[in-house]
Structure 1
Amino acid sequence: MRRVLFFYGVVVISFSAVPARAQWAVFDSANFGQNVLQAARALQQIDNQITSLANQAQMLVNQAKNLAMLPLSTLSTLQSTISQTTALLAQAQNIAYSVTSVEQQYQQAYTSISSSMSDSALFSQAQTRWQNAVGGFEDALKMQARAVGNIPSDSSAMTQLVSASQSSAGALQAAQAGNQLLALQSRQLSDVVAVLSSNGRAQDLDRAREAAAEAEGQAQYEHFAQHDAYVPGAVSVFNDGN
């Protein structure tokens, strides 16, 4: 404490010591509890954000799997097999698998038989029809052999595709495996159609040959009937003078 005194006209300033008070820290439990709650809420929000980011990351991973391409493709093998079958059909003997070819050759060899034709012409047409029938059966046998020969490769492709479908990482891979299995079935159906067509062609050519043979026999009979009938006459065997 400071004091001001006047002593004989002189200002005297004196100081007296004041005892200092002790300083004690005060703990506010309510404020501390509030801070702890706020920190806990902040940690919970951070944990929620981490969980959300993890879920989003997993979703992206799943989307990437669903968009992953199937590493297996049997398309080239299927196309090669179909090309071989198509080439074999194109090698059909005599009467090809063509509407125009069937119309022209069928009319020439099967429906143009008449009694006015010579024996050599009738024989030539019969020879053509026989060759067509034999060629048709040969073509059918070749096609059957081709279809049977495709079975091992089809079995291998089916095994690979089923395994790929079962172990697919995502929806796209499973769908692609399923599509390739459908393509394999379609290729197998094309073999069935080719075999049925070749068999039907061979049978139809043989039936047409039989029908033409009947027409040929009728034409030969009419050709023979056009000649003058035999007229009997008297024949002298022994000399009446003897």
Structure 2
Amino acid sequence: MKTRILPAALAAVLSGALMFAQPAAAARIVFDPSNFVQNTLTAIQTLQQLHNQITQLQNEAKMLENQARNLASLPFNVVSRLRANLALTQRLIDQAKGLAYDLAKMDRDFARLYPEQYAATISGDQMFRDGQERWKNALNGLQTAMQMQAQATKNLTDDEGVLADLVDKSQSAVGALQAMQSTNQLLALQAKQSIQTQRLQLTQDRAASLELARQAAASERGREVRRRFQGSGTPYTPYPVNFYNNQ
């Protein structure tokens, strides 16, 4: 009986051992190196793609920011100040007395007051009045030139302030548009000064021309006086003392 019981007990023990051994074998984790490496590479590639996308978005945001700066307008404009300065010099020209700056009217007045030759019918009294008017024209031309010089001097002081403001704004420009607008306004200042210089030169040349024309007319008047004094043409009549002083 013992011989029969012993193999049965041994079989039962082995059967129980197998039953307990199966769950342990099923819970064991198997490490696959090739699969782990592949999963790691996939994760790295995914992170790299995310990093590239973030960098691209940052670059696009920077580009939009730069475009906004380049399109920003300069919050400063000196054109009105420059026009105001030029208007002052133009007003002096418009107010100038004597020969008009209008070409047609100037031609008529010049032909009357500065004749190449006096007609024999022109009286001595008319010659006197013409001489007085020529003297006034020369005086007014000189006065206008000196007024223009004084105004140009004042405008130059104002231009120094404009230039300082423009340089300050151009140095703090945040974009291409602001830098370009600063440059354009600097060019406008230069153009304004050029126009002002031309006007100043115009009035100075006008004063000199009026004086030369007065001297030429005085020479012709002297020739006519001598001719009449000698008995040719309208009889000579003496002129007031101040007539000779004003010629």
Q: TM-score range by the shorter chain?
A: 0.7 to 0.9
Partner of 2:214: 209
User: Aligned letter for 1:110?
Assistant: Y
Determine if the alignment matches structure 1 residue 129 to structure 2 residue 140: no
Counterpart of 1:78 (choices 69, 76, 82) is 82
Q: CA offset at residue 226 of structure 1?
A: 2.4
Partner of 1:165: 170
Partner of 1:54: 58
Determine if the alignment matches structure 1 residue 32 to structure 2 residue 36: yes
Partner of 2:48: 44
| Cα distance in 1, alignment partners of residues 183 and 100 from structure 2 | 36
Partner of 2:106: 102
Q: CA offset at residue 135 of structure 1?
A: 0.5
| Cα distance in 1, alignment partners of residues 90 and 200 from structure 2 | 12
Deviates more, 1:78-87 or 1:134-143: 78-87
Partner of 1:192: 197
Higher percent of residues as helix: 2
| Cα distance in 1, alignment partners of residues 120 and 217 from structure 2 | 13
Determine if the alignment matches structure 1 residue 152 to structure 2 residue 157: yes
| Cα distance in 2, alignment partners of residues 138 and 115 from structure 1 | 34
Higher relative contact order (CA 8 A, sep 6+): 2
Q: CA offset at residue 99 of structure 1?
A: 1.0
| Cα distance in 2, alignment partners of residues 101 and 166 from structure 1 | 50
User: Aligned letter for 1:223?
Assistant: R
Query: Normalization by structure 2: what TM-score?
Result: 0.82
Q: CA offset at residue 227 of structure 1?
A: 6.1
Q: 1:168-179 to 2 correspondence within 5 Å?
A: 168-179=173-184
User: Aligned letter for 2:19?
Assistant: P
CA contact (8 A) 1:158 1:181 kept: yes
SS at match of 2:182: helix
**Which structure 2 segments of 5+ residues have no match?**
1-14, 234-247
Q: CA offset at residue 25 of structure 1?
A: 2.4
**1:99-128 deviations in whole A, cap 9, x for unaligned?**
112101101111162333111011011001
| Cα distance in 2, alignment partners of residues 53 and 174 from structure 1 | 28
Partner of 1:19: 19
| Cα distance in 2, alignment partners of residues 175 and 19 from structure 1 | 90
CA contact (8 A) 1:116 1:223 kept: no
User: Aligned letter for 2:205?
Assistant: G
SS at match of 1:201: helix
Deviates more, 1:57-66 or 1:21-30: 21-30
CA contact (8 A) 1:70 1:176 kept: yes
Query: Normalization by structure 1: what TM-score?
Result: 0.84
| Cα distance in 2, alignment partners of residues 200 and 114 from structure 1 | 30
Partner of 1:232: none
**Which structure 1 segments of 5+ residues have no match?**
1-15, 229-242
| Cα distance in 1, alignment partners of residues 118 and 94 from structure 2 | 29
How many residue pairs get aligned? The number is: 213
SS at match of 1:150: helix
CA contact (8 A) 1:70 1:173 kept: yes
| Cα distance in 1, alignment partners of residues 118 and 212 from structure 2 | 16
